[in-house]
A and B are shown apart, each in its own frame.
Chain A
Amino acid sequence: MPWNRNKQIERVVRWHRRLPKGFVYGLRNVAGWLALGALIFNLILSSRAGLGVFLIAGGVWAAAGAWKKFFEWYKNPPLGASLAVLAERIRPLNAAKIFPLFDFNARQILWQLAKGGELSRTQVLVAIGTSHLLNFFFARTGISRDEYLSAARPSVPERPFSPEETNAFFEKALSAAIGHGHEFIRPVDILAVLFDEMPAFANLLRNAGMKAEDLDHLYHWEAYQLSHRRRSWTNGLTRGGIGKTWTYGYTPTLDRFAEELQVSSELEALHVQAHGREIIELENALSKHAAANAVLVGEPGVGAMTTVLGFAARVGEGRSVRHLNFKRVLKLNLDAVLSERRERILEVLGRILREAELAGNVILVIDSVHLYLTPGATDPNIVEVLLPYLKSTPVHFIGLTTPGSYRRSVLTQSIIATLFERIDVNEPDRKTMIRILEDYVTHREGSFGVTVRYQAIVKTVDLAAEYMVDKLFPAKGLELLEEALIEVSRRGGERVLKPEDVEAMLRSRLAVPVGEPSESEKKVLLRLEEVIHERVINQNEAVAAVADAMRRARAGITSREKPIGTFLFLGPTGVGKTETAKAVAQAYFGSAESMIRLDMSEYQKPEAIDRIIGSPDGREVGQLASRVREHPFSLILLDEIEKAHSSIHDLLLQILDEGRATDVFGRPINFRTSIIIATSNAGAEFIREAIAANADYETLRRNLIETVLKSGIFKPEFINRFDAVIVFKPLDRKSVEAVSALMLREVTTRLYEDNYLFQLTPELIQWVAQNGYSKEFGGRALNRFIQDRLESVIAKKILAGRYPKGTPLWLRPEDLGA
C-alpha cells in the first residue's frame, strides 16, 4: 500500500521534474512583475489590453505560487508523530511499512532503485552520490564526487537485496534516524548505515578525517544554513509595541551609568544553543514573585555574558516569558558609579535604583558582582543601598561571577546568597561546540573570504580541548578558529581553511608539536636516541626506553587520557638522570627550559600538598598547579620523589593514571600534554653492588624494583602507574672520561664565543676524569672539579691579561695544580 502511495507522489514529481530547473520560481517572478507593470500601464492609459495582461499574469502568478507551496508540502507531508512513536505503532516492522517514513529525497532514490530491481547497498550509495543531495557534503569536506563514486563501486558487482535484506536495511535506517532525532528517515541516515556496512565508504571518510557521526553534523549544518537564509524576514514582527514604553518610567540617571544590551538574533543564534538550558533557568529565576534575581556562575570563557546576551535577545524580541518580554536589559557600570565623588556615590546609586524601580521595566546586569557584594569591598559600602532593591519585585538583577568568587563572596553572606538564584554556566560538550562553530562559520566566513572545511571545525574543537587547557569552551574554540581564519585570509589564491591550517596555527602559537609530525620532526623522532646521547653518555637502555615512549606518543598510539609519558628514573646521583630529562625536553618541546622542576625533598610535610595544588585560604598558590596551567607543554621533573610526603604520592597516582587533577578551588589541571619524570636515589647501593657482580640490565631492574618495594619506599601501585621504571647505572671509567670530555667541550665552546681559543687535550680529559669523579656524587662532582680547578685558573689568566683573545691556550694538568 505505501508503495502504491508512492506511485502517486512519483507521478507528481515526474511532472514537476519535466519542467526546467527553477521554472516555477522563475515563472512566478516574471508573472508577478508583468502583472505589476500591466497594472501601472492600465492605470495610466486605461488600456483593455493592459488589463487583460494584468489578469493573465496575475492568474499565472497566483497559480505558480500555489503550486510551489503545494509541491513543497507534497514532498514531505508531516508524519504527525515522532519516528520512535510511529515505529512502535507499526510493529512488526517491514520495508513496506517503513518506506513512507523516509523523506522525499530518500524515497525518490529508493523508489527509483526498487522499481528497477536494483536495490543494493552499492546502488543506494551511488544514487545518493550522483544526486544533488551531497553537494554541500562535497563542498565542505573536500572529498570529490569521483573519489566518492570510486569508493562506492565495488570491484565485484553486488547482488540486489532479498526482501529480508531490504527489511533489515530499512529498519537500520529507521534506527539511525531515531538515534539522530530526525523527523523523517533522511538520506544521511541511510549513509550512516552504509558507513557501518561498506568498508570502502567508511575508509573514504576516515581517510578524510571523518567519523560516522560527522555525517549528521554536516546534515545539520546544511539545514542551519538553509534556515538561516529563510528566517531573516520574520524578525521585523517581533519588536515591542510602540506604546509599551509609555507605561514605563524615565530613567535619566540610570541611562548615564548603564548600557542597553541589544543583540541581533543572528549573533544570539551563534551561541544560544550552547546555553539554552541556562537561559531557561534564568527566565524561571526572574519569574519568581519576590527576590527574582539570578547569579550566573561560570569560569571566564564559558559564556556567562553570552547567556545574558541570548536572554536579552529573547526578551527584546518577545520570545521570553510573557512578563519579561520587551523589558530593558541594562548592564550597570558600577565602577563608573564608584568613580563619582565619595559623598555622592550612595546618593547616585540610590537614584539609579529608584529610577529602575519606578520605571518598572528594568533588568539590571552586574558583571563581576562579587566585587561589589563583599562587605568592605567598596568605599562607601554599597551593599546597604543595594539590599532593599534586591528584595523588591519591580527590579530584577542578574549577577555574573566565577565559582571561586561566588564561594568566597556570595556564599559567605547568607542574606545575599538567598536573594540570588545560582545558575551554573558550564562548558558546552563536543557536539554542541561543533554546532556553535558551524554557526559561526556560516555567519563569518564570508567576511574573511575563506571557505572552511568541516574537518577544520572538528580539528579546532579537538585541538582546543587538548592543547588550550588553560581556557574554556566556547571561547577557546572561537578564538582558535578566528585566528586560523585570519591567517588563511591573508593568503593569495585558493583560500580554504583546512585542518592542517588549524594545526599550523596552534603549532606556531604554542610552539609544541601538534598534528601529524613534519618530515624534519619524524627524522628527529627516528634518531631520538642519538639526539639524547648528544647530552647523555652511555645509559643506553634508559635512553632507548624514553625514546620509544616518545615515538609512541607522537605516532598517536598512546592513550590520550594520560600524560604523554611517565617515567621513574632510579639510580645513583650524578649518572645523567636530570641530563636525560633535559635532553628529552629539548628534543620533544624544543627547549631544555621547557621543564618544571620540583625538588621533592622540600615537600616532606603533610601540609606540603598546599604548595602543589594551592591552599584554601589562597596563601599558597600551588606551584605545580599554576606552573602547569601556565606551561601545559612541559616536562615535569620531580627530583628525589622518595622524599615527598605520602599524600603527594597519592595525588601523583591520579595524575599518572588519568592525566589530570583538580586544584584546591576545584579547577582542573591538565597533565595530558606533559611528560612526567620522577627521579630517585632509592636502591643506589643495590645498583652498585649488582653492577659489580655483572648483573644484566633486565635482572638488575627487576631485582631493584623488588628491593625498593620491600623497603617500603614506594607502594606497588605507585611504581605500577609509571609507563616505565628506568635504571641508571653508575658510570664506568670510559663513561666518566666521555662525560668529562663533554663538560670540557662546553667550557671550550663558552670561551670560544668570546674568542678565547682554549685547546682541549686527551691528557687534560683523562686528568679531569681521574681526579674529578666521585662515586658518591657521580658526574656532579666532575662539574664542580672543572669549575674549581680549570675555570678559576682560566679566569685569573684572563683578568691578569696573560690570555689574549685570539691566541690558543694549552693547559697541562701541572698548570692546574696536579
Chain B
Amino acid sequence: MILGEYLFWHYGLALRERLYSALSLLRTTANFLSILPLAKSILAPWHRIKDPYQRGFELGEFFWTLASNLVSRILGAIVRLFVIAAGLVVLALVAIWCALALAFWFLLPLLIPLTILVGALFILT
C-alpha cells in the first residue's frame, strides 16, 4: 500500500517537479551565459562605442568614422561569437546532465534494489 502511494508520488508530482527543475536549470544557464541577448546584438558596437558622423560630407572624415565604428562592431562580434560558442557547449552539457538526472529519477525505484544487489555481489564474489 505504501509502495503504491510512493510510486504514485514518484511518477506523478515528484517527476513533474524534477522536470520543472531541469527546465529551470537550463533557462538559468542560458540566462547566465546570455546566449540570446548576445546573439541578438551580435553586430552591435562593443559597449555601444560609436563615433557620430559629422554634419556635411568629407570623405576622409566619413571613412575614418566608418572604419572606427566597424572595428567596434567586429570586436564585439568576435567576443560575442566566442562566448556564444562556449555557452552552447556548456548548455549542451547541462542538457545532458538534466536528461541523465531525469532518467535516473525515472529508473530510481529499480536502481535502488539493483545497485544494492550488484554491490553485494561485488563484495561477496
A positions within 8 Å CB-CB of B: 8, 11-12, 15, 48-49, 51-60, 62-63, 66, 69-70, 73-74, 77, 237, 239, 241-244, 246-250, 318, 358-360
Contacts and interface: CB of A to CB of B under 8 A. Distances in A.
Given A59-B111, A59-B116, A241-B31, A66 B10 contact: yes
21 contacts: A8-B1, A11-B2, A48-B123, A51-B119, A53-B119, A54-B119, A55-B116, A56-B123, A59-B115, A59-B116, A59-B119, A62-B112, A66-B112, A73-B14, A241-B33, A241-B37, A243-B38, A243-B83, A246-B41, A247-B44, A359-B48
Contact of A51 (B83, B112, B122): B122
A481 B24 CA distance: 41
Contacts of A48: 122-123, 125
B103 interface: no
A188 B19 CA distance: 35
B10 A70 contact: yes
B5 to A, nearest CB: 7
Contact of B5 (A12, A52, A66, A242): A12
B14 A55 contact: no
Nearest to A58: B115
Interface string B31-71: 11110011001001011110000000000000000000000
A237 to B, nearest CB: 5
B48 A73 contact: no
A15 B37 CA distance: 53
Given A62-B111, A250-B49, A244 B37 contact: yes
A573 to B, nearest CB: 82
Nearest first, the 8 closest Cβ-Cβ pairs linking A and B are A55-B119, A52-B122, A241-B34, A243-B34, A249-B48, A52-B123, A59-B115, A56-B119
B1 to A, nearest CB: 7
Nearest to A63: B112
Contacts of B121: 52
Contact of B115 (A56, A241, A249): A56
Contacts of B37: 241, 243-244, 247
A565 to B, nearest CB: 63
Nearest to A67: B6
Contacts, number: 109
Which of A66, A244, A247 has the most B CB atoms < 10 Å from its CB? A247
Nearest to A69: B14
A244 B31 CA distance: 9
A56 B120 contact: yes
A242 B2 contact: no
Contacts of B118: 52, 55
A174 B46 CA distance: 61
Contacts of A69: 14
Which of A58, A69, A70, A243 has the most B CB atoms < 10 Å from its CB? A243
Given A70-B10, A70-B14, A73-B14, A53 B80 contact: no
A49 B44 contact: no
Given A52-B121, A244-B37, 17 more contacts: A48-B125, A52-B123, A53-B123, A55-B119, A56-B116, A60-B116, A62-B111, A66-B108, A69-B14, A73-B9, A74-B9, A241-B31, A242-B33, A242-B83, A244-B34, A246-B41, A249-B49
Which of A12, A70, A246 has the most B CB atoms < 10 Å from its CB? A246
Contacts of A62: 108, 111-112, 115
B92 interface: no
The B contact surface, by secondary structure, is helix
A77 B14 CA distance: 12
B118 to A, nearest CB: 5
A2 to B, nearest CB: 16
Contacts of A74: 5, 9
A51 B83 CA distance: 39
A248 B47 contact: yes
Contacts of A52: 118-124
Contacts of B112: 59, 62-63, 66
Interface in B85-115: 108, 111-115
Nearest to A15: B2
Given A241-B37, A242-B33, A246-B38, A55 B10 contact: no
A246 B115 contact: no
B74 to A, nearest CB: 14
A326 to B, nearest CB: 9
A359 B49 CA distance: 10
Nearest to A42: B122
B41 to A, nearest CB: 5
Which of B38, B76, B80, B125 has the most A CB atoms < 10 Å from its CB? B38
Nearest to B2: A12
Contacts of A359: 48
Which of B13, B37, B116, B122 has the most A CB atoms < 10 Å from its CB? B122
Nearest to B6: A70
B91 to A, nearest CB: 12
B23 interface: no
Given A59-B111, A359-B48, A246 B10 contact: no
A248 B37 CA distance: 11
Contacts of B80: 243, 246
B5 A8 contact: yes
Which of B44, B115, B118 has the most A CB atoms < 10 Å from its CB? B115
B49 to A, nearest CB: 7
A51 B120 CA distance: 10
Given A56-B119, A73-B13, A243 B47 contact: no
Nearest to B25: A237
B51 to A, nearest CB: 12
Nearest to A249: B48
Contacts of B111: 59, 62
A74 B5 CA distance: 9
Contacts of A63: 112
A248 B48 contact: yes
Given A49-B123, A242-B33, A250 B13 contact: no
B113 to A, nearest CB: 7
Contacts of B6: 70
A12 B5 CA distance: 10
A60 B114 CA distance: 11
